[in-house]
Amino acid sequence: MASSNGSKFIVYGGKPIQGEIEPQGNKNEAMPLMAAACLTDQPVTLQNIPQIEDVRLMEEILHDLGLTSSESDTAQVRRTLTLQAKGTPKSTIQPELGSRLRGSVTLAGPLLARTGEVTLPRPGGDRIGRRRLDTHLQIFSSLGAQVSDIRDGIHIKAKKLKGADILLDETSVTATENGLCAAVMAEGVTVLHNAASEPHVQALGNLLNAMGGRVSGIGTNTLTIEGVKSLKGATHRISADYLEAGSFLALAAVTGGELKIKNTAPQNMRMILQTFGRLGIRTEIKGQDILVPKRQSLEVEKEFGGAVPHIADAPWPGFPADMTSVALVTATQCKGTVLIHEKLFESRLFFVDGLLEMGARIILCDPHRAVVLGSDKLRGAKLASPDIRAGMALLIASLCADGESEIRNIGQIDRGFSRIEERLRSLGAKIQRQ
């Protein structure tokens, strides 16, 4: 992957994209599954893992902890990665590494289970507001660990983890993932109530079972984990990234192009398709593929009685929080008015200042809500990507705008999207990395 340090995208918009594209492997699935390799001394093989910066950083952290890795079948955007922790991994994540990657927090549960302790730096990643760790710490404490706030982060230690009946104080994806990994080798039975059930959480549960774990309730909000003494290696294929597929869907619609998105696992996209349908986007599902017809008349569907519609994120199977930035950009190109409500992060919507510069009509009500008055043509502008999802949203806006746009800080986009400019150029987009 090309270095993104100091790089920028130059985008010439206004041209419909068209053709076929296949989503990469799910980034949010890759992080906890890579971390789960710490739970065994046998090889864990992950197929269809995306070639993105966050995966590279996680691999670097795992190497520092003592794991080995090998790859095969390397392709432009995906590969097969085998990880192995032959000896006991180190228990300390170096601050200079962990602070660069929010996904490093998923190592807490596996390292605690395997080594009996873990030292975590303050998590890094997207600048979208405070990302609390309290639910993670609630789970660890309930399982018998002692949590200490230290100068450079958090130290967690347990002589022995014991199963417990735990009600999570929020439906946190990463806390659920950490809870699964910490409990899988704990003594006795653990029940996680109010657990997250996203497809990538389900994938982790399935991997742990393939490794010899005993996890039941996968796909529900109550997970039961019967502790086992040890785990073995396993092979798992990472599913399609439904967030990337949703981004491609929106891009096709706002540029007026026809696009076939192949092998999307549409069963994971039902709420995304339903929500974009409320913005007037028509799609056709053909097996595992999604077709976006060309030159659609995008119009916001009013709610009963003519009320302004409300699009809000929610835990699975609700509309994903990571899609709200893309939905907001899409709404700028739809006739009508819609309220976008991002409940999870208080800084997610601050990227709208760039859209305002492009001529969008948006009222930012507060850090969580924005009213979009759509259908105005956007114009090119100089922009900066604050996080992965907003970066992709600004790229979509630039590709449907008139004229030239410049997007800086594209390292944020590279963290979640592999070789995005090359793949978009294959669809006719005019985009260059400089």
Tokens 């497809």 found at: 199
Q: 255, 290, 297, 252: which is closest to 274 by C-alpha?
A: 290
Which residues have a catalytic role annotated? 126
Contacts within 8 Å (CB) and 24+ apart, 230-235: 230/40, 230/185, 231/39, 231/40, 231/42, 231/184, 231/185, 232/40, 232/42, 233/40, 233/42, 233/43, 233/44, 233/45, 233/84, 234/44, 234/45, 234/207, 234/210, 235/44, 235/45, 235/46, 235/47, 235/210
Backbone dihedral region for residue 8 (phi beyond 0: left; psi -120 to 50: alpha; all else: beta) = beta
Calpha distance 419→434 (Å, rounded): 14
CA angle 385, 359, 382 (to 5 degrees): 35
* Crossing angle between the packed helical segments 270-278 and 242-255, to the nearest 10 degrees: 20
Backbone angles phi, psi at 256, to 5 degrees: 80, 15
